[in-house]
Amino acid sequence: MTNLTTLGEYVIKKQHEYPHATGELSQIFGALRLASKVVNREINKAGLVDISGASGLENVQGEQQQKLDVYANEKFKAALLARGQVAGMASEEEEDYVAFNEGHSVGGKYVVLIDPLDGSSNIDVNVSIGTIFSVYRRVSSLDGPVQLEDFLQPGNRQVAAGYVVFGSSTMMVYTTGNGVHGFTFDPSIGVFYLSHENIRIPEAGHIYSVNEGNYVKFPPGVKKYIKYCQEMDADTGRPYTSRYIGSLVADFHRNLLKGGIYMYPSYANAPTGKLRLLYECNPLAWLVEQAGGKATDGYRRILDIEPTELHQRTPYYVGSRAMVDRVEGFLRDNPDT
């Protein structure tokens, strides 16, 4: 164990990659690491205490909140609030952003956007879930509280992004714009150790991830691409394997390591898609690009979309570059008329 590198050590070691931060990002990662460990502890005893199940509340999107959604949101908020580097937080679970520096003359330089517990509806059946986070430098004056404009920045302005996957092991995967690195949690001593340095997604994979229960509602191009994935072709290794967990973090993590594509198209009941641009799509889009992959809404790069609202949704295609290129071709050649 003495030769292993911890998450904290690695972030400090790499601080020269973002000299403008002068150690501030390492403090933010410390907060995210602490909250992740607390949430991991509660998830691991979800069957033993009254922490699983619905809370009886709805979030801003009208979705039923799970008890752990509320718990995780509060733990991440408290951990980030305790760090002076963070001026505010926006969460998928809250209608508006939260300003941490109200009443103070000078605020922190950064804001954090977070999906505290992605896939939380799977908690009761012991399926992998996760947390997704994104860090931006403020664009408003540091002399006052954060503003909406600090959160409505395109994904290409992120300074850090990542996720935590709570599965057979707990991992944190992040980027600061210089590759993608993964750390596995050792619960016996409560430390994240470097386990996957410089992750690269395969150029082409053999896994496609999509909720095929909505197939009849999908755009024509997506239907044709799914049929393409299912056809026999020895030269391209088809048919591809269909794998869909229903937790975005878990599906993305598998495809990042093994190669594949994750798709959540628009359809009749969700004309702008279901996934949130700021809390889910942007962070994972930057991660996959840093690993050599691609993320798009079917027609344009996710990271170049200018957000107009906190809970904006978008269609999403993310994964191995060749597979995303292919589905874009099908969408372009088969317009939804």
Q: Is 121 marked as binding a ligand?
A: yes
Cis peptide before 239 (omega within 30 of 0): yes
DSSP state of 288: H
State yes or no: 244 annotated in a binding site: yes
If phi over 0 gives left and psi between -120 and 50 gives alpha, with beta otherwise, what is residue 42? alpha
Q: Is 14 annotated as a binding residue?
A: no
Q: Which helix (H) or strand (E) holds 50?
A: none
Amino acid sitting at position 198: N
93 is in an annotated binding site: no
Tokens matching residue 30: 């410390």
Q: Please name the helix (run of DSSP H) or strand (run of DSSP E) that holds residue 56, with its range, or none.
A: strand 54-58
| CB contact at 8 A, 118 and 143 | no
Kindly report the number of other CB atoms within 10 A of residue 93's CB atom. Answer: 24
Q: Are the C-beta atoms of residues 163 and 173 closer than 8 Å to each other?
A: yes
Q: How far apart are CA 116 and CA 141, in angstroms?
A: 27
Angle ∠(7,160,90) on CA atoms, nearest 5: 110
Residue 231 assigned ligand-binding role: no
Report whether 211 belongs to an annotated binding site. Answer: yes
Contacts (Cβ under 8 Å, ≥6 apart) of 104: 145
Residue pair 83/29 in contact (Cβ under 8 Å)? The answer is no
Q: Answer yes or no: is 120 a known binding residue.
A: yes
Helix locations, the chain, DSSP H: 7-13, 24-44, 67-81, 148-151, 220-230, 248-258, 282-290, 321-333
Query: Which residue ranges are tagged as binding site for Mg(2+)?
Result: 92, 115, 117-118, 280
Query: Which residue ranges are tagged as binding site for substrate?
Result: 118-121, 211, 244, 274
Query: Which residue ranges are tagged as binding site?
Result: 92, 115, 117-121, 211, 244, 274, 280
